[in-house]
């Protein structure tokens, strides 16, 4: 067998190392409870970031209507994805780090209602004009808090 050049050996070692590292990734395998938890946590962070921007522009006294619409649309659309990210087995006993309470799965009708209430509050904020912006933002805040109270563990 012909001997490999130093460059070829280095390339092989780097390729094998990269393949092994890919198998040791921190990313959960697709479809696993950990993957659902990661995706829902990432989505809630996106919702939180958009919410914060809306709150700040309202508090500025001169709200940026286009930014409110853009961020509220993001909140509404991401919130609509969230219920599918709570599959059975993705709770606290799954091994994944989650703050979702067991009530998500033991009280599915109430959980679904809280999700619908949040989406409805986002829709109302989307439809609001400058005169109702603050009130509808508060309704969105309350819908978020209601769900957290029932279905999210405190830190």
Distance between CA 75 and CA 119 in Å, rounded?
8
In terms of Cβ atoms closer than 10 Å to its own Cβ (0-12, 13-18, 19+), residue 39 is middle
Q: What pLDDT score was predicted for residue 110?
A: 97
113: which 2 tokens?
């209602």
Specify the pLDDT at position 10: 57
Over residues 4-27, the mean pLDDT reads: 51
pLDDT in tens, 82-97: 999 999 999 988 888 8
CA distance 148 to 85: 16
34: Cα separation from own chain's centroid: 13
Determine the Cα–Cα distance for residues 8 and 150; give it in Å rounded to an integer.
59
d(CA 91, CA 101): 7
Residue 96: per-residue pLDDT? 85
Please tell me the predicted confidence (pLDDT) of residue 146: 97
Reported as a single tens digit per residue, the pLDDT across 26-35 is 555 667 888 9
Give the chain's domains with CATH numbers: 32-151 (1.20.120.10)
pLDDT in tens, 143-154: 999 999 999 998
Q: What is the mean pLDDT of the chain?
A: 86
Structure tokens, 144: 């978020």
pTM: 0.78
Distance CA 65, CA 129 (A): 9
- Judged against a pLDDT cut of 80, whether residue 130 lies above it is answered with yes
The DSSP symbol for 80 reads H
């Amino acid at each position: 067998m012909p001997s490999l050049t130093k460059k070829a050996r280095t390339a092989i070692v780097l390729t094998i190392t990269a393949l092994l590292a890919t198998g040791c990734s921190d990313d959960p395998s697709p479809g696993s409870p950990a993957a659902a938890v990661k995706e829902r946590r990432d989505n809630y962070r996106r919702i939180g970031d958009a919410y914060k921007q809306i709150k700040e522009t309202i508090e500025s006294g001169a709200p940026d209507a286009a930014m409110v619409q853009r961020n509220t649309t993001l909140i509404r659309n991401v919130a609509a994805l969230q219920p599918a990210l709570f599959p059975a087995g993705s709770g606290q006993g799954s091994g994944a780090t989650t703050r979702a309470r067991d009530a998500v799965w033991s009280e599915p009708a109430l959980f679904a209602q809280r999700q619908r209430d949040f989406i409805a509050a986002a829709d109302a904020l989307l439809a609001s004009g400058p005169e109702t912006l603050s009130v509808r933002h508060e309704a969105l805040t309350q819908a978020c808090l209601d769900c957290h109270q029932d279905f999210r563990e405190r830190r």
